[in-house]
Amino acid sequence: MKRSSIEGRRKLRALPVLLLVAMLGLISLNAAFAHAVAEGDKGYIKEITGIHLLPFTYLGAKHMVTGYDHILFLFGVIFFLYRLNDIAIYVSLFALGHSTTMLLGVYFNVGMNSYIIDAIIGLSVVYKALDNMGAYQRWFGFQPNTKAATLIFGLFHGLGLSTKILEYNISPDGLVPNLLAFNLGVELGQLTALAMILIAMGYWRRTAGFWRHAYAANVWMLTAGFVLVGYQLTGFFVS
């Protein structure tokens, strides 16, 4: 009875690790489709006119929760952050960059080739995985400014989203309120995804296996980033 109780506790402690592995696996399999917009949502964005705050808030939240590139990057950013104020600073920097280029890009009709911008977003995942693995200190002997990198890559993530929105010719009628609602939804979705990651990470960090598997988790994230980059560059050259 005592032995089964110990085994049961071990299984419970292992559950957050299994959830994180499953999440990383799902992200890896779907990384190539990051920033995609569902066909139904695409048609809605094309046809809707006027101010529709709740629908655009929902669409923004849905995009972030299903935006595997965003989640991967956030996962990498908070991987070794333990203090809530540090997490808040980095997530706020990412949100600032993301919101700025998304809003201004759509409002001023500024976009990029979607393959190129998504490849850059894939590189942001690669960058963060290598950073977590201590690669830059080993290779170059210095640590890049992580806060500046988070803000800069946030700008690219937002530009990727604005590029997609521009492709669907969103109506100028109610544009600003709808964009603000969409951005609010993005931030709500980001907080939801972040909360789920932090809960799982909190349990994982308390297990003996965290430091044994931390490097492997970042190698997995690195691989997913390269998959995204390769997929987007292939699309660019084939198209």
Dump pLDDT digits (tens) for 67-76.
888 889 999 9
Q: Which parts of the chain sit beneath pLDDT 70?
A: 1-40, 42
**pLDDT score, position 37:** 56
pTM: predicted TM-score of the whole model, two decimal places = 0.82
Q: Alpha carbon of 99 to those of 89, 205, 223: distances in Å?
A: 15, 31, 27
**pLDDT score, position 66:** 81
The answer to whether the CB of 69 falls within 8 A of the CB of 125 is yes
**pLDDT score, position 16:** 46
The answer to whether the CB of 72 falls within 8 A of the CB of 224 is yes
Q: How far apart are CA 232 and CA 238, in angstroms?
A: 10
Torsion of CA 101, 86, 124, 55, to 10 degrees: -40
The answer to whether the CB of 163 falls within 8 A of the CB of 112 is yes
Q: How far apart are CA 63 and CA 190, in angstroms?
A: 9
